[in-house]
Structure 1
Amino acid sequence: MKTLLKEARELKNFKTREVAQLLGIDQALISKFESGTRKPTKDQVSKLAALLDIDYETIIISWLKEKIIHEIGNDEFALKALRAAEEEIRLNSSSTAKKVSTVLQQLLDEIDSFKAKLNLSKQIKNNSFTEALEIEYTYNTNSLEGNTLSLNETELVVNEGQTISGKSMREHLEAINHQEAIAFIKNKVESNTIFTEKELLSIHAIILRGILPKEAGHYRAVSITIKDRSFTPCEPASIPRELEALFNWYEMNKNLIHPIILAATIKQRILTIHPFINGNGKVSRLIMNFVLLQHGYLIANIKAENESRNRYFQSLKESISKENNDAFTLYLAQIEKESLENNIRTISQ
């Protein structure tokens, strides 16, 4: 891996101090990575790959290989252990790509058919439909959490900078912040950013900026209990580890599992980890939509009106409690299908 890093840096005409400054990593560490006397963390590997345009799969395989060799060395049972580990990983991978129900598969096939017709990769960036969808998304996601701004008021606050009489400063900030968070994830999609802990914390910081500054961009430090007891959030000390496992799972499965299933699964798992005191719902929906946009789909806009709201929370509860594993994925797929159909109608007019 040391050769891979050094050659990539030199190809970009960067000095080690420039890499250090850009990534916020000590220059001495960069030199040690390249000499092989120090191993980077996985987060550092991700940052280096993005900055130096190194294929993520190539560098992470090299990193894992060296990590494995470092751990097991020349132990006489090393090869047998590796073969046993390989078999277990294969089994875990096959169980991850779970069977999809007939109903869900038919819905996914319809979605992909619509997506192919639209050639979304070229159309969604500047489409007026998309701009309206983003405002509606901001309105609905805030309304789900108790914000009382109407759709029209949300648009005036976001696009015109108006102050709405009778509405709190917090409600204004929630609209402005969320719209900025959408711009943030779109920018990350366009720059092909690998989603890591840094992006997660950045989204949370944007969402709560000026609202709960002490919490913004920080994991919770206390244990909590969920009111309906459909799940038990992990303990604070486990949050970074659980999130790292989730991001690793995503990287392993992003080309194996349908993006709708990926997005639904990530949303559910972030919600069950519950990394923050406030903002878990908004952040998990934004990351869900980050995954959809990353794979060329439209933003999934969960409506705040009573029937849709009830279906949303009920489907989440059923999926998280394992009462019906596909409940939320089916709900999300139906929303995405409706968005695609609406976009088709808009373009054909």
Structure 2
Amino acid sequence: MKTLLKNARERKGLKTREVAQLLGIDQALISKFEKGTRKPTKDQVVKLASLLEIDFETLMVAWLKEKILYEIGQDDFALKAINMVREEMENSYVTSKKSISKNLSAILEEIDALKVKLDQFRQFDSYRITQALELEYTFESNRIEGNTMTLRETDLVINEGLTISGKSMREHLEVINHQEAIAYIKHLMNKNTPLNEREVLSIHNLILRGINPEDAGRYRKVQVMIKGSSFMPPQPFMVAKEMEDFFIWYETNKNVLHPIVLAAELHERLVTIHPFIDGNGRTSRLVMNLILLQNGYVIANIKGDYDSRMNYYNALETAQTKNNKEDFLLFIAQIEKESLERYLEIIGQ
């Protein structure tokens, strides 16, 4: 692991002092990590992997190997214990895979069949089709949050640069900002940039740019309540730690879960933490759709009409207050299925 860290740092052209400054830890610790005389914490491993652009799985496996060897040393029973642990972990993994309900498993199979079909007809993709669907996404995502722009008005603001009489400056900015945020997640997708704190904050910064500049791209410092919900988000002093756990969970599960489940989980987890003063819903939906796009799916566009919005909110609240995510996972899976079906219909397949 020490060689991994040192080589990656030198490849990036960074000094130990610079790495320490970026991570907010003592410079001496970085030197000790590279010499193998001190082991980073799990949180520090996540941050090092992101900062130094080391494959997370490679770094985590190296870290765990050294941690295990350090803990057990040359104990005579070590190998027997390791084999028992492996067996227990494998059983646990199989159990977690089986925990997906039959209903969810069935819809995921339908989605994957649609994706196979879509992959065969990618050559029929059109910039104009993509542009129209992204416009609809901006319209619906903003409508969920109370923006009163119609689809036509959203089009005029984005594509014609017009100002709509009777609509507030905030509503205009919400439209423009959201469209730019879509362009940004597509940029991340094309670069194959992994989800990390910097990117989530950048997405949020775009959403609130010009609307609430002092809070754009920054975690909240005050307690908030979710209108119409009995769920209470975590206290502000807990947000940074909750977000650290959020990214650790992502890194641990990104290659294990079905992409639809991963995307839906990230959406629910982020909006439950509610890390921002405003813009949590839009940011969470954009993060979800970044994951979907990175895995070759299409944007899951949740509608903003009353019935769709209520179904969305109710499924979320059940996940947040009853520790039961089934309804929410099914809801997102159904939205993605419908989005795939519509996309295939548009391109004539």
Q: Which band: TM-score by shorter chain? A: 0.7 to 0.9
CA distance in structure 2 between the aligned counterparts of 1:120 and 1:308, rounded to whole angstroms: 31
Post-superposition Cα deviations, 1:148-187, rounded to whole Å, max 9, x if no partner, equal 1111111221222222222111111111111111111121
- Mark the CA change 1:296 to 1:64 in structure 2 (over 3 Å): closer, same or farther: same
TM-score normalised by L of structure 1: 0.83
- Mark the CA change 1:305 to 1:216 in structure 2 (over 3 Å): closer, same or farther: same
Which consecutive unaligned segments of at least 5 residues does structure 2 have?
Answer: none
Contact 2:300 2:335 (C-alpha < 8 Å) held by counterparts = yes
Secondary structure at 1:119 match in 2 = helix
- Mark the CA change 1:146 to 1:123 in structure 2 (over 3 Å): closer, same or farther: farther
CA distance in structure 1 between the aligned counterparts of 2:123 and 2:52, rounded to whole angstroms: 29
**Corresponding position: 1:47 with 2:45:** no
Post-superposition Cα deviations, 1:218-252, rounded to whole Å, max 9, x if no partner, equal 11112233444442311222222222222222222
Contact 2:312 2:331 (C-alpha < 8 Å) held by counterparts = yes
Contact 2:181 2:207 (C-alpha < 8 Å) held by counterparts = yes
Which residue number in structure 2 is paired with residue 333 of structure 1?
333
TM-score normalised by L of structure 2: 0.83
Which consecutive unaligned segments of at least 5 residues does structure 1 have?
Answer: none
| Shift of residue 145, structure 1, vs aligned partner | 0.8
Post-superposition Cα deviations, 1:13-44, rounded to whole Å, max 9, x if no partner, equal x54359959x9579967766544567662343
CA distance in structure 2 between the aligned counterparts of 1:24 and 1:122, rounded to whole angstroms: 41
Post-superposition Cα deviations, 1:264-298, rounded to whole Å, max 9, x if no partner, equal 11111112211112111111111111111121111
Contact 1:9 1:15 (C-alpha < 8 Å) held by counterparts = yes
**Corresponding position: 1:58 with 2:89:** no
Secondary structure at 2:345 match in 1 = helix
CA distance in structure 2 between the aligned counterparts of 1:229 and 1:98, rounded to whole angstroms: 31
Post-superposition Cα deviations, 1:186-217, rounded to whole Å, max 9, x if no partner, equal 21122222211111111111111111111111
One-letter code aligned to 2:258:
H
CA distance in structure 1 between the aligned counterparts of 2:272 and 2:339, rounded to whole angstroms: 27
CA distance in structure 2 between the aligned counterparts of 1:101 and 1:34, rounded to whole angstroms: 45
- Mark the CA change 1:181 to 1:96 in structure 2 (over 3 Å): closer, same or farther: farther
**For structure 1, which segment, 291-300 or 124-133, has the greater mean C-alpha deviation from structure 2 after superposition?**
124-133
Secondary structure at 2:322 match in 1 = coil
How many residues align structurally?
A: 342
Contact 1:157 1:164 (C-alpha < 8 Å) held by counterparts = yes
Contact 2:268 2:316 (C-alpha < 8 Å) held by counterparts = yes
Contact 1:181 1:203 (C-alpha < 8 Å) held by counterparts = yes
Task: Report matched runs for 1:162-311 at 5 Å.
Answer: 162-311=162-311
CA distance in structure 2 between the aligned counterparts of 1:96 and 1:234, rounded to whole angstroms: 27
- Mark the CA change 1:88 to 1:246 in structure 2 (over 3 Å): closer, same or farther: farther
CA distance in structure 2 between the aligned counterparts of 1:289 and 1:147, rounded to whole angstroms: 20
Choose the corresponding residue for 2:14, options 13, 16, 26. Answer: 16
Contact 2:318 2:325 (C-alpha < 8 Å) held by counterparts = yes
CA distance in structure 1 between the aligned counterparts of 2:110 and 2:271, rounded to whole angstroms: 28
One-letter code aligned to 2:249:
W
**Corresponding position: 1:314 with 2:317:** no
